[in-house]
Amino acid sequence: MTVVVVESPAKAKTINKYLGSDFKVLASYGHVRDLPAKDGSVRPEADFAMDWEVDGKSAKRLSDIATALKTDDRLILATDPDREGEAISWHVMEVLRKKGALKGKAVQRVVFNAITKSAVLEAMQHPRDVDAALVDAYLARRALDYLVGFSLSPVLWRKLPGSRSAGRVQSVALRLICERELEIEAFRAQEYWSIDATFATPQGHEFQAQLASIASRKLGKLDIPDETSARAIEQALRGQPFRVDATESKPARRHPYPPFRTSTLQQEASRKLGFSSARTMQIAQRLYEGVDIGGETVGLITYMRTDGVDMAPEAIASTRNAILKNFGEPYLPSVPRHYTTKAKNAQEAHEAIRPTDMSRRPESMRRSLDGDQLALYELIWKRTIASQMESAELERTTADIGADGADGKHYSFRATGSVVRFDGFLKVYSESLDDGEDEDSRRLPAMARGDTIGVRKIGAVQHFTEPPPRYSEASLIKKLEELGIGRPSTYVSILETLRTRGYVRLDKKRLIPEDKGRVVTAFLENFFRRYVEYDFTADLEEQLDKVSAGDIDWKQVLRDFWRDFTTALDDVKELRVTNVLDSLNETLASHIFPPRADGGDARACPSCGNGLLSLKLGKFGSFIGCSNYPDCKFTRPMSPGAEGAEALPAEGVVLGVDPETGEQVTRRVGRFGPYLQLGGAVEGEKPQRASIPKSRRPEEITLEEALKLLSLPREIGLHPETGKPIVANFGRFGPFVLHDGTYANLDSAEDVFTIGINRAVDLLAEKKARGFQRARPGALRDLGAHPAGGGPVQIMSGRYGPYVKFGKLNATLPRDKDPQSLTLEEAMELLAVREGKSGEKKKASVKKPSKPRPSAKSKTKSAAAKPARKTSKKPKAA
């Protein structure tokens, strides 16, 4: 019998059916070992020796494989066909060799690009050895990532308290996002005008045109700068006769797009289906591993982590047959199309993402797939079919419509349009556009030179130039690919890392850098500029590609990198924090010290008048403070536009006096935003404070409102069933009521002060009826049972913030995600990404999850009043 090792149990079950009883297929569940997250796991002084650690789960699985080999004489490593798959095979082989389980055993490697019976059986006929060059490239990349993370991150912790970590590729991606934000902030809109017209042919057919030239001089975009100029042109053309000066028609061809690779699939799924990159890859993984069709599990698409765009000859033949059968001979080109990738550093899994069987039309799969799976499969099927279809034939037409103005100048308007003469591949597929209108959707009516043209309308239209758009997930991935940075298997984890570490947030599907991310980027650009340069990162990737091709030694790449990197580290370690802050103040000046309306010094302290504002670093991040501290305690958030970032005196703005205590009530601004305070500081005691809700403008808060907020949490009454108190308060995500660990959201801020016991009990009962109650200590919500079965998916309250839990799998909740509104589907995405990070390309385990450890109990009142401020340990570097 032969033992076969694959990554996931789903693949193991399917492939065992294909191979029969002479084979025993076992799953490694992704990577079986990794570098321990501690110093010394890579030792440059020992020629980059690497110490690997097998986790408990993997140790048991490896023992199962070793046990199976006792009675078998052959091991086949059939992990995924990319670099990561090669690395997993090598790790499995090395661990088993150290166990002595491979003595006298034949060890072979097979790869298949699709989980179908024919593909698997064909692969078994062509075994090979583990590719040593690919493994060397993996070792070099893993060592580089470790060395950068565990060398650079401690420097960040010492010089920039509150920062989490830095990574070799994530820092470059963060720089892209921050630079785009700087471009947007530096952008100044410029006014310009256009002269648009609606004309009509002698037959009465209307069409649109725009002024293109004056007195034979072509107009640029900004050549009509203001309304005065635009109105003068309008006046010159009023009542003038127009005619056709010239028409031109040219044939054109549009060629189909190549089949999907990882990045283009993520981009199109984002545009057409609205999927995040993580969601796209989660669904693609399911389609690759297979679904049940007629009692048999069949993989529907080829491997989904690839930069390749060509297809196997048999796949091309199958696609051409499908075109002939479904669309007819005119849509089939005389020769097959072959594509080559333009992306740098292409993956070794060369074939594109395509259906495994082109005869499985999307409509025939409706009963086997859910809605999202069907949508993605249909997108892949159509793109694949279109890639082998005939080109579209168009006729592009331009018409120049002219008139002599009252000022003696000749004005020429241009109209453009296009007619599809033969739709070709457009019958099946058209790539989505990020911006603008597809000119193929516009058509000009017939007209000839000299024809008199009627004027329906001529008008001046005001425009303003627009800043470059922020990156979306799809456009950032496209940019990273263009620069040759990152890999198909890493794009999703890069984005997720930036969000979970609080460096960026996602707003309306656009990536916006947080202040923490901007500070880290400014620090790296000032003191480690070479290592966040796009060309340097891309060149390093090219060197790793040469390693994978066997052209250069992987340890020499590490020696060259480490020699220069350690020099830069030593230089920065000698810097004082004040030197760092001076550099950051200068680099970030336009963002943190914008010009004042009165023209005064942007860095002058608004409180004491003679202090200088500067970036300060605290345990919980960066803020702006006065150089005269502690005499002047003025602080504000880092971003001037942040909520509550107005300049207030250090003693705050007095709102009035509390009639019960006789103490002053003041409105103040701290590093975390605006707040209210009752009385002044007393030695050894902290004054009573309350945050101002985000729904209220701080300057509009009255004394009455302030006293209400300072009185929180408000006890509504005792629950009629438990006798325990129900309280109302504001939290991180808005107003709520709380009873015995169960939270229920309130509709408005005013409800905190007005809600009665009956309504509160009803809300809590409704929350429990939906299954979102706090099931046990530490759990915020139960989202319901995992689709694969086996236990609940929960949102837990952790020491470092909320996270999603299923069994023993935990996924941190990004800052822009509300635990109270997170859906089960979104939670599944986060869990899938977390699985991917640990290298486990498998479905979530259906084993009974272990019980979560109960968190420390806390008093109801203190929990409702204000969540305890979280203090973070130094995080582990990526």
Give which of 617, 630, 631, 707 is closest to 671, Cα–Cα: 617
- Assign 3-state DSSP to the chain and report helix, strand, coil percentages, each to 5: 35, 25, 40
Residue 225 DSSP SS3 = coil
Q: Which of 29, 288, 303, 331 is catalytic?
A: 303
Dig out the tokens for 327 from the structure: 């669309």
Positive or negative torsion for Cα 596, 599, 603, 607: negative
- The question of whether 192 is a catalytic residue gets the answer no
DSSP state string for 531-600 = GG-HHHHHHHHHHHHHHHTTSS-HHHHHHHHHHHHHHHHHHHHT--HHHHHHHHHHHTHHHHSPPPTT--
Given a contact cutoff of 8 angstroms between Cβ atoms, the answer to whether 191 and 223 are in contact is: no
Tell me the C-alpha distance between 205 and 375, whole Å.
Answer: 40
Q: Give the end-to-end CA distance of the chain in Å, rounded to a whole number.
A: 41
Given a contact cutoff of 8 angstroms between Cβ atoms, the answer to whether 705 and 671 are in contact is: no
Give which of 489, 547, 553 is closest to 82, Cα–Cα: 489
Cα atoms in the Cβ-side hemisphere of radius 13 Å centred on 727: 20
Give which of 852, 861, 833 is closest to 792, Cα–Cα: 852
Tell me the C-alpha distance between 261 and 354, whole Å.
Answer: 9
Given a contact cutoff of 8 angstroms between Cβ atoms, the answer to whether 689 and 695 are in contact is: no
Give which of 707, 848, 728 is closest to 788, Cα–Cα: 848
- DSSP assignment letter at 330: G
Given a contact cutoff of 8 angstroms between Cβ atoms, the answer to whether 395 and 421 are in contact is: yes
Q: DSSP E strands: which ranges in 179-261?
A: 191-200, 206-214, 217-218, 242-254
What is the 3-state secondary structure of 661-695? CCCEEEEEEECCEEEEEECCCECCECCEEEECCCC
Tell me the C-alpha distance between 656 and 659, whole Å.
Answer: 9
Tell me the C-alpha distance between 167 and 667, whole Å.
Answer: 40
Tell me the C-alpha distance between 162 and 620, whole Å.
Answer: 5
Question: Roughly what angle, to the nearest 10 degrees, separates helices 515-527 and 577-587?
Answer: 110
Residues labelled as active-site residues: 303
